[in-house]
Chains A and B, each alone.
Chain A
């Protein structure tokens, strides 16, 4: 049944572009919505499709895949709703919906494959869809951001392909298990270490981690609002972070050099991302740097390597996808109504846009790790795991950066939502149902996951099942 998660989006793109174009354009929104909703349901209630005898896809679906497939469904639905409201031109909206479906197929592929070459193919599908989506409006900034992303992504591709070539040379296969078995028994440790280093560096670029983050702030801020939601909410998480978790835990040997590298890069991203966010006045750029910082928490948890830390990292991946999507939905609403992203020119918007103001507070507090919201639990678990594993300096860095996170987000709230609204904002209002609905659903998830954490922890705490190890 899970093969449908790759086949159906691709088939839908073909059907949408057959004759009867006008009819198809009218139904594209509903078709996308049905597919995203079906994905969320399928993750929760898997059934057999009967297509297995025709397509012998080598797929793997465990609890970690389900968490990420769920996030993909939620984030793409949010981007779809926002796109329907914001993108006025019919052609652009139709192209956006088609590219969402292609990105869906690409990300679903990344999540379920168990072969490094197939992983590379689906990484490229998602990357190409992202380049085109960023340049959807074809304005100068967006084209420049897409070009930057394209160039850095090409470097990542070269690194990963070189690594795959070495791994194929050593193991004679590209399957996860075959490579892992070859690494365990092989004597060519230097060559394998080089392959592992190249692949991990490639994924660092894709995930936008410091110091490989050059493309990320430009891409997030210059892309159309629904595309920013897609990129920040799930694309970089899937192509960079999820792939890294899979490669590190299932393919490579999780040895000390890799652990130290991950923790170091994670800590650098946490601190520098937070400090860079502190100095921003562009709403989306601040969120972009905040993303780099939050992804650092996931990587530092992964690098710590204890079951508790890996659980925390995966839980923070889910939380980050939800609260960052909500923050980008809110930034889209603010930009749409005020026509600006400059926070220094805004004030008191919560009075005119109460729903956006309230959901923004929830997302901000969750990001900063304030209990009992979802983000507080995942950060607490990561910090506890670091402390218990003896990496106390890293735990202190994580706590300190959390305080900086609270500082820059309170500054955001103060500048944008609190105080008295200026005269130029006297006529603004909430943008409507299409923007409000995803914001309410995402805010509900943040609160519900925070309150229901003891139950969820009980359900997903078995790390071996979670990462299929």
Chain B
């Protein structure tokens, strides 16, 4: 593994930790976008540009934009509440960096030999054709999940605003 890959992995772990531990929702959403961007770079380096593009456009782009929209329509905490929450939150997730560090060190120095012959990547001329021809059912599934997400937003957020909650 090249040094650059290790650096990207470290940044990925750091941004993921920041996403979970930060007290601000906005910073958390930014952290998520950053984590996705790091993952996309790793995918590019692992010779899978299609997966990287999907990761970058959907997770780092679309989903982050959706989070920003949601954050703008929710009520922020008062400064006192933020101070209260910050301490409790830090204490609650203090073990996370320790776990990440231990797992990282173990994996870095433990040589696990997995003799798996990875199947050769197929040359896909057109991703659209591939998805429609081979993963049609999954595409329909994605549409249904989107529909479900819309109802989730309507039920959890729209009606709350309607009733002044």
Evaluate contact between A95 and B114: CB separation under 8 angstroms: no
Evaluate contact between B147 and A14: CB separation under 8 angstroms: yes
> B122-157 vs A: 1/0 string, CB under 8 Å?
000000000001011110111111011101101110
Evaluate contact between B140 and A10: CB separation under 8 angstroms: yes
Residues in chain A near residue B140, CB distance under 8 A:
6-7, 10, 55
- Complex Cα distance A10/B140, Å? 9
Evaluate contact between A13 and B159: CB separation under 8 angstroms: no
Evaluate contact between B142 and A121: CB separation under 8 angstroms: yes
- Complex Cα distance A128/B145, Å? 8
Query: Which one of B141, B144, B147, B156 has the greatest number of beta carbons of chain A within 10 Å?
Result: B144
Residues in chain A near residue B144, CB distance under 8 A:
10, 102, 105-106, 125
Interface residue A98 (Cβ < 8 Å from any Cβ of B): yes
Evaluate contact between B141 and A99: CB separation under 8 angstroms: no
Assuming the A-B contacts A95-B155, A117-B138, A135-B155, are A13 and B160 also in contact, with contact meaning beta carbons closer than 8 angstroms in the complex? no
Evaluate contact between B118 and A138: CB separation under 8 angstroms: no
Residues in chain A near residue B119, CB distance under 8 A:
172
Interface residue A124 (Cβ < 8 Å from any Cβ of B): yes
- Complex Cα distance A10/B147, Å? 8
Q: How far is the CB of B119 from chain A (nearest CB, A)?
A: 3
Residues in chain B near residue A6, CB distance under 8 A:
137, 140
Evaluate contact between A56 and B145: CB separation under 8 angstroms: no
Interface size class of B (residues with CB under 8 A): 20 to 34
Interface residue B116 (Cβ < 8 Å from any Cβ of A): yes
Cβ-Cβ contact count across A and B, 8 Å cutoff = 82
Interface residue A131 (Cβ < 8 Å from any Cβ of B): yes
Evaluate contact between A138 and B160: CB separation under 8 angstroms: yes
Evaluate contact between A169 and B116: CB separation under 8 angstroms: yes
Interface size class of A (residues with CB under 8 A): 35 or more
Residues in chain A near residue B147, CB distance under 8 A:
10, 13-14, 102
Interface residue B75 (Cβ < 8 Å from any Cβ of A): no
- Complex Cα distance A57/B138, Å? 9
Residues in chain B near residue A118, CB distance under 8 A:
137-138, 141
Evaluate contact between A122 and B141: CB separation under 8 angstroms: yes
Assuming the A-B contacts A7-B140, A106-B144, A121-B138, are A128 and B155 also in contact, with contact meaning beta carbons closer than 8 angstroms in the complex? no
Q: How far is the CB of A174 from chain B (nearest CB, A)?
A: 10
Interface residue B80 (Cβ < 8 Å from any Cβ of A): no
- Complex Cα distance A109/B149, Å? 18
- Complex Cα distance A170/B151, Å? 38
Evaluate contact between B148 and A128: CB separation under 8 angstroms: yes
Main secondary structure of the interface of A (DSSP, over half): helix
Interface residue ranges of A34-60 to B (CB < 8 Å): 55-59
Evaluate contact between B152 and A132: CB separation under 8 angstroms: yes
> A198-235 vs B: 1/0 string, CB under 8 Å?
00000000000000000000000000000000000000
Interface residue ranges of A354-385 to B (CB < 8 Å): none
Evaluate contact between B138 and A125: CB separation under 8 angstroms: no
Evaluate contact between A129 and B159: CB separation under 8 angstroms: no
Residues in chain A near residue B143, CB distance under 8 A:
10
Assuming the A-B contacts A56-B133, A95-B154, A118-B137, are A125 and B114 also in contact, with contact meaning beta carbons closer than 8 angstroms in the complex? no
Assuming the A-B contacts A55-B136, A121-B138, A122-B141, are A170 and B148 also in contact, with contact meaning beta carbons closer than 8 angstroms in the complex? no
Assuming the A-B contacts A121-B142, A138-B159, A170-B116, are A132 and B137 also in contact, with contact meaning beta carbons closer than 8 angstroms in the complex? no
Q: How far is the CB of A407 from chain B (nearest CB, A)?
A: 40
Interface residue A188 (Cβ < 8 Å from any Cβ of B): yes
Q: How far is the CB of B63 from chain A (nearest CB, A)?
A: 14
Interface residue A136 (Cβ < 8 Å from any Cβ of B): yes
Q: How far is the CB of A398 from chain B (nearest CB, A)?
A: 37
Residues in chain A near residue B114, CB distance under 8 A:
188, 191
Residues in chain B near residue A124, CB distance under 8 A:
141, 145
Query: Which one of B115, B133, B148, B159 has the greatest number of beta carbons of chain A within 10 Å?
Result: B148
Interface residue ranges of A162-214 to B (CB < 8 Å): 169-170, 172, 187-188, 191
- Complex Cα distance A13/B147, Å? 8
Of the candidates A106, A113, A138, A188, the one whose C-beta lies within 8 Å of that of B115 is: A188
- Complex Cα distance A10/B154, Å? 18
Query: Which one of A102, A113, A121 has the greatest number of beta carbons of chain B within 10 Å?
Result: A121
- Complex Cα distance A7/B132, Å? 15
Residues in chain B near residue A14, CB distance under 8 A:
147
Residues in chain B near residue A10, CB distance under 8 A:
140, 143-144, 147
The 17 sampled A-B contact pairs (Cβ below 8 Å) are A6-B137, A10-B147, A14-B147, A55-B136, A91-B159, A95-B151, A105-B144, A106-B144, A117-B135, A117-B138, A121-B138, A124-B145, A125-B148, A129-B148, A132-B148, A132-B152, A187-B115
Q: Known pairs A102-B151, A135-B155; list 12 more (Cβ under 8 Å).
A: A55-B136, A58-B137, A92-B155, A95-B151, A118-B141, A125-B144, A128-B149, A129-B148, A131-B152, A135-B156, A136-B155, A138-B165
- The 6 A-B residue pairs whose C-beta atoms are closest, nearest first, are A172-B119, A121-B141, A132-B152, A128-B148, A102-B148, A57-B137
